[in-house]
Chains A and B, each alone.
Chain A
Amino acid sequence: MSNITRRGFVKLTGGIAALGMVTLPARRGWSAPKRVVVIGGGYGGSIAAKYIRLSDPNIQVTLIEQNKDYYSGPLSNWIIAGFRKLEVQKWGYDGLKKHGVNVVIDQVNAIDPAKKTVGTAGGKSFEYDKLIVSPGIGFKDIEGYDAEAQKKIVHAWFAGPQTTQLASQLAAMPDGEPFIMVAPPDPYRCPPGPYERASLVAHYLKKNKPKSKVIILDPKDKFSKQGLFTGGWQKLYGYETPNSLIEWVPAAQGGKITRVDAKTMTVYTDMSEFKSSCINIIPPNKAGAIAEKAGLTDDKGFCPVNLETFESKIHKDIHVIGDACVAPGLPKSGYAANSEAKVCAAAVVNQLNGKPVGIPSYVNTCYSLISPEYGISVAGVYKLHEGKIVEVAGGVSDGKAEEFVRKQEALYNESWYQSIMADTFG
């Protein structure tokens, strides 16, 4: 009985909405379906779109994403080291369409927080009651690292053609030359990522170019999962011996770069210069371009938000999730973006239905490989307390774990990927 009534109700309200759209687009009736627009279809945006539809199918959700195909960053370091193909990193949006998400492949170039509209490069305009912005990251400038230089020296911090380009450059590098990797300053996407990349390049060098080594030029003096990484490097790559396959140059030892010269393939620091035919630069991060353009960012380039709802502290009814937002306590990881998206989705659904936003819960789980059979992890469970995200439990893998544990964690890494991608795009 209640089903029939509800269907009748939806039909009626649908009719009212249609009428409203034709005559008075700016003044929608109270019963008109609520509209959510999501910008960005990655680990954050896709989940927000899907989970809003799962919890309230009466809400209309439009996801605007600039690329037809999505390539996952997590696990893309494996490609550089030659033991994974880019094809298995590729995902599409058919799954989200099945959940009733209106997927639009276009680039958003304007957000009007006053009129509550979003405009695209394709000339379309979308009205919203709630906007969720999940644009990922953009890069800050490095002297000499312009668009032309980026053709020769890739960042490969977005998976895709640059990932395979870096893999080819590594394969073509003469034995004896160093692989130079410039790590970014905090905060940045995927804190253990540069060190996993260094590990797996070392794994490749050990087999294929034993006279070469990885040099990490770092503007920091410490990094994520450091003890586990250096422990693994000692075990597998002779770290801190004269024949080490990895050399880490922290800020205190002159690791901070000042400029790049792509013509001579040289990276300059305050004290020294490094040359190679294979240089990888991961520039300092900031929020994705649209967040900056819409005035959602602070002076550090990221978007301050209320951590209970992920609503922007700058613009009402605009929520920012994932790597672009400021969420102290949570890392800028794919899993954290997934978790933030779910908290945000629940809050948005409740707000649109006039209910209290609800109590959030967040989790991060992140695996890294030091070699294909040597996995490590970090996990955290978080609660909100007095407006702040507090880690109530978690930590990294046991530093003294046995070999079979490292092997299991390596297996869990790929399974983590399958499950989180199914959660995101399935």
Chain B
Amino acid sequence: MQLKKLHMLIVAGGLLAGTTFAVVAQAADAPSAADAEKAAKEAAKAAAIAAPPADGAILANTCAGCHGTNGVSAGPAMPTIAGMPTTYLQKIMADFKSGKRPSTIMGRIAKGYTEEETKRISDYLSKAKWGDSVSHANSVTATKVNAEKAKKGKKLVDAQKCSKCHEDDGLTQDEDTPRMAGQWVDYLLIKMQDFKNQHLTIPQPEKMQRAIEKLSLQELEDVAHFYASKK
């Protein structure tokens, strides 16, 4: 980590040096002021990235606007991330950052954190307490768990042996497996749609990929209702 930091400082220093050079060059060749401004902006950005990280709480609290206070989401399309293992959260963030995991917005956000910062966020959230999805009276979009669909989902989950990894009806979790019991139905539905979406490739184990291929979108919806119904 220390080495990495040092490396980043060198990069930042290099960019800063580049700015100085650009300014000198400007006097001779007079390139546009916009170029110099852009270079200065890039240098400030590199220096800011290399600046020391904030505490885990300060970093993780910025997630709450979408993922809820201490990672317990109040929005049906946003996942609760409280209590998930550090390594799992770190991996997801790294995949968002590299673009390996497709996203609408998380890729843009994940790029804002160094490995150390991501680790601190993940550490903090892993220690937060999970909360089952609870819809506020002001929420008009949340899908309610459908008992019929959940029942069908249970059969599909058993047939596909999902519990080999998603143990205890999706309650347990480890570094590769997120908790699904008590997660928001809408979030799970969006993920199921994403899994079936030809335009997207979501990194996942082969076993998971095979199970998804076997199930139709309709069946995956039932699976989502099943896991969301569990607490």
Kindly state whether residue B113 has any CB partner on chain A within 8 Å.
yes
A416:B65 contact, CB within 8 angstroms: yes
Cα(A258)–Cα(B47), bound, Å: 44
B112:A365 contact, CB within 8 angstroms: no
- Please indicate the chain B residues that have their CB under 8 angstroms from the CB of A328 in the complex: none
Interface string of B61-99 (1 = CB under 8 A from A): 111111111000111111000000000000000000000
Cα(A346)–Cα(B53), bound, Å: 15
A152 CB to closest chain B CB, in angstroms?
31
For the residues of B in contact with A, the DSSP-based class is loop
- Interface residues of B, CB < 8 Å — how many? 47
B74:A409 contact, CB within 8 angstroms: no
B58:A358 contact, CB within 8 angstroms: yes
B74:A418 contact, CB within 8 angstroms: yes
Kindly state whether residue A402 has any CB partner on chain B within 8 Å.
yes
Q: Which residue from chain B places its CB closest to the CB of A89 in the assembled complex?
A: B138
Q: Which residue from chain A places its CB closest to the CB of B137 in the assembled complex?
A: A88
Stretch from A29-37, A168-176, A209-217, A391-399 forming part of the interface with B:
A391-399
Kindly state whether residue A106 has any CB partner on chain B within 8 Å.
no
Q: Which residue from chain A places its CB closest to the CB of B75 in the assembled complex?
A: A415
Q: Identify A419's interface contact among B51, B67, B108, B110, CB under 8 A.
A: B67
Interface set, chain A 42-68, CB cutoff 8 A to B: 51, 55
Q: Identify A416's interface contact among B69, B75, B109, CB under 8 A.
A: B75
Q: Identify B65's interface contact among A363, A390, A426, CB under 8 A.
A: A363
Kindly state whether residue B104 has any CB partner on chain A within 8 Å.
yes
| Size bin of chain A's contact surface | 35 or more
Kindly state whether residue A263 has any CB partner on chain B within 8 Å.
no
B74:A383 contact, CB within 8 angstroms: no
A394:B112 contact, CB within 8 angstroms: yes
Q: Which residue from chain A places its CB closest to the CB of B41 in the assembled complex?
A: A390
Kindly state whether residue B141 has any CB partner on chain A within 8 Å.
yes
Kindly state whether residue B54 has any CB partner on chain A within 8 Å.
yes
Kindly state whether residue B154 has any CB partner on chain A within 8 Å.
no
Most chain B Cβ neighbours within 10 Å, of A358, A397, A404: A404
Cα(A393)–Cα(B57), bound, Å: 20
Kindly state whether residue A285 has any CB partner on chain B within 8 Å.
no
- Please indicate the chain A residues that have their CB under 8 angstroms from the CB of B75 in the complex: 412, 414-419
Interface string of B34-53 (1 = CB under 8 A from A): 00000000001101110111
Q: A365-B66, A379-B105 are in contact. Are A418 and B138 (CB under 8 A)?
A: yes
- Please indicate the chain B residues that have their CB under 8 angstroms from the CB of A423 in the complex: 64-65, 68-69, 74
- Please indicate the chain A residues that have their CB under 8 angstroms from the CB of B108 in the complex: 379, 393-395
- Please indicate the chain B residues that have their CB under 8 angstroms from the CB of A88 in the complex: 138-140
B65:A338 contact, CB within 8 angstroms: yes
B77:A411 contact, CB within 8 angstroms: yes
A411:B190 contact, CB within 8 angstroms: yes
Kindly state whether residue A151 has any CB partner on chain B within 8 Å.
no
Q: Which residue from chain A places its CB closest to the CB of B64 in the assembled complex?
A: A423
B104:A420 contact, CB within 8 angstroms: no
B66:A342 contact, CB within 8 angstroms: no
Interface set, chain B 144-189, CB cutoff 8 A to A: 186
Q: Identify B113's interface contact among A380, A381, A385, A412, CB under 8 A.
A: A381
- Lowest 8 CB-CB distances: which A-B pairs, in order? A381-B112, A415-B75, A393-B112, A422-B74, A393-B111, A390-B48, A363-B62, A385-B48
Q: Can you add 4 more A-B contacts, CB < 8 Å, to A346-B57, A359-B55, A393-B112?
A: A55-B57, A380-B112, A412-B78, A418-B139
Q: List 5 A-B contacts (CB under 8 A).
A: A342-B62, A379-B109, A394-B108, A397-B105, A426-B74
